[in-house]
A and B are shown apart, each in its own frame.
Chain A
Amino acid sequence: MTKRTSQSVRWVGQGMPRVDADGKVRGTTRYVNDVDYKGVLHGVVVRSPVARGILKGLVPDPAFDWSPIVLATAKDVPGENVVVMHDRTMPLIAEIGAEIRYRGEPVAVVAARTPELAAEAARRVRVEVEELPPLLTLQEAIAIFKATPEKLDSMKSQDIVKGDVATGFAAADEIVEAEYWAGHQEQLYLENQGLVVFPQKDGSILAEGSIQCPYFPVHELNDCLKLPPEKIRVRQTAIGGAFGGKEEYPTMLIGYAALPALKSGKPVKIAYERNEDILFTTKRHPVWVRYKTGVKKDGTLTAIECDFILDGGAYLTISDVVMFRGILHCAVAYRCENVTIRGKVARTNSFPCGAFRGFGAPQAIWGIESHVDAIAARLGRAPHEYRRQIHARPGDVTPTGQVLSKENGSTACLELALKRADFAKKLKQVSRGRLRKGQRKLYGVGLAFFAHGSAFTGDGEAKFKAKGRVELARLEGGKPVVDIRVSSTEMGQGVHTIFTQIAADALSLPPAHVRFPMADTGLVPNSGPTVASRTTMVVGNVVHRAAQDLKRQIEAFASLRFFQGAPAELRASQLVAPGAKPVPFAKVAKALLAEIGPASGFFQFELPADIRWDQATFKGDSYPGYSWSANVAEVEIDPLTCELEVKRVTAIVDVGRVINPTLAAGQVEGGLTQALGYAIMEKIGTGKNGLYDAARLQTYIIPTALDVPEYDVKFVEYPYSFAPPGGKGLGELPMDGLAPAIANAVEAATGRRLRQIPITPESIFAALHAPQGGTP
């Protein structure tokens, strides 16, 4: 299926080892806590002791020695007390007299020479709050919504409408309706949040640390810190995992650290320990989703009506866009003429939810993929046969009116997954609640099929115009090297390696000539945040084109300098011209640097001209491209204890051109494992005190090496030809579909449909047995 989209491809498509692996296996890579920042103060955030109330006062303990402490409050905010994300409602730090909206909302920041002294000082600030009754959970919000929909406190609403569902339901033979729930999920990057803010002599700040999107704070803290973008410089250190958790949250953390830093003129570091990191940073949004679907006896979906409500927490932050991505994935993978999707972001008195791999799509796909199985069951159809009939494929029109191009490998994913998993045969062996002959455990197999939109929603990329450079600017050990200058961050996903491959191919140089310095807003143009499954597709294309631009400049120079104006080509590390002796790249590059100075290739991303999107009506081309996947999960449930084990998972993915098969498979296996945790383990509730109840690694349970199933991961390649080398989004896709595949397998094993994740022995027991116990 692979289309060759670029000539002289050598490195793209190869499983080249990571460029950053050596330091990581030897323990020499420096994460923020491994750097000895001389003279920094350590900051600790003072937090609200209640989930809702009016902040009445902050009283420093007079018995405590405050002389070595920097205490910053809302009074020390240089500008307007607001963190500008997708609205202007969230203060950086609560003000006296203002409403506290979640437990742990910052009310002050203290800084001292040691973390222990700072922590002690934080304890010595008495926070006086007049308590108000909180609304803590999505369950409470949905109870209100069900009683009186308009009473739901929704921070953002958005509908998608195609056709007319009333007509669709009228034409249906069957109506299938159900609700699905999922709770919070913690990103649980192994490296906790941490960064340092250095105040500079000119009044600007430099922030450095575990930061996924260095350009976000540059634009989100201007009003608050009263600093223009050019006076907020942000750079990443090595990042020990992020998964969205270090996307928007570090903006707040920079803001907190900046207050005592600007007040004292000294650098301030804030590094969370695990407990604080789980309690007081963002999580995946809990969801309640209700599907009502109309279907004809022949299987035609006549109507999909969907309410999709996320728990946004106390402030909107970026939740509107999470909800947008959610509703855009609620029905995109199936053929249906009449669709109404209503998305909302409920406000609760809980920590604002935020980005986490998948960004709304896993919540949507959890619902729809469970529901498609429920429809198939109603029709008496096998789940795979039914999906064969109704799945979207090239030429089909999505709920927003987008026509799917030929570059969508939907059918290929579905068919290969069914084949590799031997799905039809295995479906005949499922237990449906009763052990078959020879079975000691209930066996089930389940399927999920889904798409993930690559890059920013709608015309986001058209408006954003990602910029990047590839430069020939310096010698390293006497040899010329090429630097990739984009703002994409390496968080473990492998961007430093795959962009090195892309640049190497575009330049026709070996990867050893290419460097990818850590992202630094002082040095790189804004190629956008490292989010939204956009990096390989969009920024990869920017790197490809910028490298081609640099190549042309090198060739032009060589032509004049070495080949008397004859057209020269950089090919396999040499400049060649017809009839002339080739000149090594190194020689040409040195000459260029010495005689002209640095050369810089540049590219600014643009979408195809025919892309159209109307943000007001949510109509048009909702994503530039779609990645596709089908997952098959096989489970065993011990009837003795209801313990569930996921034995095998087949995952077929179309992410367009696979730049590095080894790294890509690693992304899929890792994403599937996070999805496994989401499906069967990771449970975190909110206590009456407004605090998460699983705030340590002893209580927040993620998969270990003994929990992961056997994975069969295969790629089918339908490249995005507009943007060579043709990758589509990869990072989020494997997080999307395993939970419903497992729920569908559990249904096949037990005969019971579970509509809430995580699916645990307790929930299987509750589904199978009477509340007070007893045998089946």
Chain B
Amino acid sequence: MKITETIDIRFPKTLAEAVRLQASEKTRGKLLAGGTDLMVQWAAGVPIPKRAVSVWNLPELCAIEVFPDRIEIGAGVTHAFLRDAVQIHRHVPALIAAAATVGAKQIQARGTLGGNAANASPAGDTAPALLVTGGSVLLASVSGTREVPLAEFWTGYRQIAARADEIILAFRLPKKGKAQERFRKIGTRQAQAISKVMAASRILVEKGTIRSAAIALGSIAPTPVRLAEVEAFLAGKKLSPKLIDEAEKLAQATVQPIADIRSTAEYRRWASGRLVRDALENL
């Protein structure tokens, strides 16, 4: 018997049922969406939970809603579904680009936006693109729904701000409007790559001046991070080659990456600045 067969998995039919299960320590289980992270971790020897609660295909988690100023993407939406939801592509293009780099087709068909966020890997492909929207996460529990800014969502290495009784319901993401977005991932190869460094940005430029800049990086810290110092430095400045040089250097001075099997600390530090340059040069 394979190890995952020993897990007691519950299959709630509705969100209400799911949050009720999660409300009590006696019924609560590890939340399992598409399984593309958890099933792998369990097979690789990460201790398995006694119970799991499947939120795969939970109807309340699978919708995308478009509002005048924002879109709301259910946590259970898969990367493949995002790829096919062309009506939202222009509102969050960095996120769409990021989702397209998750694994390959097979993983995109099962991996969900909520699962990618909850897994909270520093290399989670969609996190930087979510961060630069300045949006929030909706967390559901028996006591209702609360909203947590994405900037406060990833609290530490593989840690998130959700309580044990909460389920990620959706992502509430302001549309980019006139701002420009960009996503770039430096991976270990051209497909199915885990990132060495990646960057997402949402920058609003008016008449040559940067009105606002949101830039986030992945794989360079215990959590995905916004580059607050670089963003503050850029705000209100005229876009120029000199500014780009300075932003690149500032980013390199700001980050504190580590070395691991996929890259070196020196390269990650350098590439962090280079990806900031890339974002600015492509405005």
Q: Do A and B touch each other in the complex, judged by CB within 8 A?
A: yes
Instruction: Give chain A's interface residues, CB within 8 Å of chain B.
Output: 114, 116, 275, 640-643, 645, 681, 685, 693-694, 696, 698-699, 701, 703-707, 761-762, 765-766, 769, 771-775
Smallest Cβ-Cβ distance to A697: which chain B residue: B192
Smallest Cβ-Cβ distance to B40: which chain A residue: A698
Min distance, Cβ A300 to any Cβ of chain B, angstroms:
42
Smallest Cβ-Cβ distance to A707: which chain B residue: B190
Of B86-94, B143-151, B153-161, B266-274, which stretch is located at the interface?
B266-274
Q: Is the CB of B186 closer than 8 A to any CB of chain A?
A: yes
* Cross-chain contact A681 with B189 (CB below 8 angstroms): yes
Bound Cα distance from A765 to B272, whole angstroms: 13
* Cross-chain contact B186 with A701 (CB below 8 angstroms): no
* Cross-chain contact B266 with A705 (CB below 8 angstroms): no
Question: When the two chains form the complex, which single residue of B194, B261, B277 contacts A640, counting CB atoms closer than 8 Å?
Answer: B277
Given contacts A681-B189, A707-B190, 17 further A-B contacts (CB under 8 A): A114-B1, A116-B1, A116-B2, A116-B3, A275-B44, A643-B186, A693-B261, A694-B261, A701-B188, A701-B189, A703-B189, A761-B267, A762-B264, A766-B264, A769-B270, A773-B273, A775-B248
Question: When the two chains form the complex, which single residue of A703, A705, A707, A765 contacts B270, counting CB atoms closer than 8 Å?
Answer: A765
A residues less than 8 Å from B273 (CB atoms):
773
* Cross-chain contact B189 with A707 (CB below 8 angstroms): yes
* Cross-chain contact A765 with B267 (CB below 8 angstroms): yes
Smallest Cβ-Cβ distance to A765: which chain B residue: B267
Bound Cα distance from A138 to B178, whole angstroms: 56
* Cross-chain contact A681 with B270 (CB below 8 angstroms): no
A residues less than 8 Å from B252 (CB atoms):
773-774
Within 8 A of A (CB), among B167-195: 186, 188-194
Within 8 A of A (CB), among B233-283: 245, 248-249, 252, 261-264, 266-267, 269-271, 273-275, 277-278
B residues less than 8 Å from A765 (CB atoms):
266-267, 270-271
Min distance, Cβ B145 to any Cβ of chain A, angstroms:
35
The secondary structure that dominates the A interface is: loop
Bound Cα distance from A765 to B273, whole angstroms: 13
Bound Cα distance from A114 to B2, whole angstroms: 10
Bound Cα distance from A116 to B43, whole angstroms: 13
Bound Cα distance from A681 to B262, whole angstroms: 10
A-B contacts, 25 of them at CB < 8 A, read A116-B3, A640-B274, A640-B278, A641-B271, A642-B267, A642-B271, A643-B186, A681-B189, A685-B261, A696-B44, A703-B189, A704-B104, A704-B192, A705-B191, A707-B190, A761-B271, A762-B263, A762-B266, A765-B266, A765-B270, A766-B266, A772-B266, A774-B249, A775-B245, A775-B248
Bound Cα distance from A275 to B44, whole angstroms: 8
> Which residue among A641, A706, A774 has the maximum number of chain B CB atoms within 10 Å of its CB?
A641
Q: Is the CB of B226 closer than 8 A to any CB of chain A?
A: no
* Cross-chain contact B189 with A704 (CB below 8 angstroms): yes
B residues less than 8 Å from A275 (CB atoms):
44
Min distance, Cβ A648 to any Cβ of chain B, angstroms:
15
Bound Cα distance from A402 to B233, whole angstroms: 70
Instruction: Give chain B's interface residues, CB within 8 Å of chain A.
Output: 1-3, 40, 44, 104, 186, 188-194, 196, 245, 248-249, 252, 261-264, 266-267, 269-271, 273-275, 277-278
* Cross-chain contact B191 with A681 (CB below 8 angstroms): no
* Cross-chain contact B191 with A707 (CB below 8 angstroms): yes
A residues less than 8 Å from B194 (CB atoms):
698
Smallest Cβ-Cβ distance to B6: which chain A residue: A116
B residues less than 8 Å from A645 (CB atoms):
190
Smallest Cβ-Cβ distance to A694: which chain B residue: B261
> Which residue among B186, B191, B192, B261 has the maximum number of chain A CB atoms within 10 Å of its CB?
B261
Min distance, Cβ B4 to any Cβ of chain A, angstroms:
12
B residues less than 8 Å from A640 (CB atoms):
274, 277-278
Smallest Cβ-Cβ distance to A677: which chain B residue: B189
* Cross-chain contact B261 with A706 (CB below 8 angstroms): no
> Which residue among B44, B104, B269, B274 has the maximum number of chain A CB atoms within 10 Å of its CB?
B274
A residues less than 8 Å from B264 (CB atoms):
762, 766
Bound Cα distance from A772 to B249, whole angstroms: 11
Q: State the 6 A-B residue pairs at the shortest beta-carbon distance, nearest first.
A: A706-B190, A773-B270, A706-B191, A704-B191, A762-B267, A707-B190
A residues less than 8 Å from B270 (CB atoms):
765, 769, 773-774
* Cross-chain contact A641 with B261 (CB below 8 angstroms): no
Bound Cα distance from A706 to B103, whole angstroms: 12
Min distance, Cβ A219 to any Cβ of chain B, angstroms:
38
Min distance, Cβ A673 to any Cβ of chain B, angstroms:
12
> Which residue among A643, A685, A762, A769 has the maximum number of chain B CB atoms within 10 Å of its CB?
A762
A residues less than 8 Å from B261 (CB atoms):
685, 693-694, 699
* Cross-chain contact A773 with B188 (CB below 8 angstroms): no
Smallest Cβ-Cβ distance to A771: which chain B residue: B266
Min distance, Cβ B254 to any Cβ of chain A, angstroms:
12
Given contacts A116-B1, A641-B271, contact A773 B266 (CB under 8 A): yes
Bound Cα distance from A724 to B162, whole angstroms: 73
A residues less than 8 Å from B269 (CB atoms):
772-773
Min distance, Cβ B104 to any Cβ of chain A, angstroms:
8
Bound Cα distance from A699 to B273, whole angstroms: 25
Given contacts A116-B1, A699-B261, A772-B266, contact A641 B186 (CB under 8 A): yes
Smallest Cβ-Cβ distance to A762: which chain B residue: B267
Bound Cα distance from A694 to B2, whole angstroms: 23
Bound Cα distance from A685 to B252, whole angstroms: 28
Smallest Cβ-Cβ distance to A684: which chain B residue: B261
A residues less than 8 Å from B1 (CB atoms):
114, 116
Min distance, Cβ B173 to any Cβ of chain A, angstroms:
27
A residues less than 8 Å from B2 (CB atoms):
116
Min distance, Cβ A445 to any Cβ of chain B, angstroms:
21
Bound Cα distance from A771 to B265, whole angstroms: 10
Smallest Cβ-Cβ distance to B264: which chain A residue: A762
Smallest Cβ-Cβ distance to B104: which chain A residue: A704
Bound Cα distance from A645 to B189, whole angstroms: 9
A residues less than 8 Å from B266 (CB atoms):
762, 765-766, 771-773
Bound Cα distance from A385 to B194, whole angstroms: 42
Bound Cα distance from A765 to B264, whole angstroms: 10
Bound Cα distance from A593 to B273, whole angstroms: 79
Bound Cα distance from A78 to B274, whole angstroms: 63
Smallest Cβ-Cβ distance to B196: which chain A residue: A761
Bound Cα distance from A500 to B24, whole angstroms: 68
Bound Cα distance from A391 to B267, whole angstroms: 39
Bound Cα distance from A595 to B282, whole angstroms: 84
Bound Cα distance from A771 to B252, whole angstroms: 13
B residues less than 8 Å from A766 (CB atoms):
264, 266-267
Bound Cα distance from A588 to B271, whole angstroms: 75
Smallest Cβ-Cβ distance to B262: which chain A residue: A699
* Cross-chain contact A761 with B189 (CB below 8 angstroms): no
B residues less than 8 Å from A761 (CB atoms):
186, 196, 263, 267, 271
B residues less than 8 Å from A643 (CB atoms):
186
Bound Cα distance from A761 to B185, whole angstroms: 13
Min distance, Cβ A24 to any Cβ of chain B, angstroms:
21
Min distance, Cβ A742 to any Cβ of chain B, angstroms:
15
Bound Cα distance from A761 to B188, whole angstroms: 9
Bound Cα distance from A704 to B261, whole angstroms: 19
Bound Cα distance from A512 to B275, whole angstroms: 60
Min distance, Cβ B230 to any Cβ of chain A, angstroms:
15
A residues less than 8 Å from B267 (CB atoms):
642, 761-762, 765-766
> Which residue among A699, A703, A775 has the maximum number of chain B CB atoms within 10 Å of its CB?
A775
Bound Cα distance from A694 to B274, whole angstroms: 27
B residues less than 8 Å from A769 (CB atoms):
270
Min distance, Cβ A771 to any Cβ of chain B, angstroms:
6
Bound Cα distance from A771 to B264, whole angstroms: 11
Min distance, Cβ A640 to any Cβ of chain B, angstroms:
5
Smallest Cβ-Cβ distance to A772: which chain B residue: B266
* Cross-chain contact A641 with B274 (CB below 8 angstroms): yes
B residues less than 8 Å from A681 (CB atoms):
188-189
Bound Cα distance from A530 to B26, whole angstroms: 59
Smallest Cβ-Cβ distance to A764: which chain B residue: B267
A residues less than 8 Å from B3 (CB atoms):
116
Bound Cα distance from A703 to B191, whole angstroms: 9
Smallest Cβ-Cβ distance to A698: which chain B residue: B194
Min distance, Cβ A675 to any Cβ of chain B, angstroms:
15
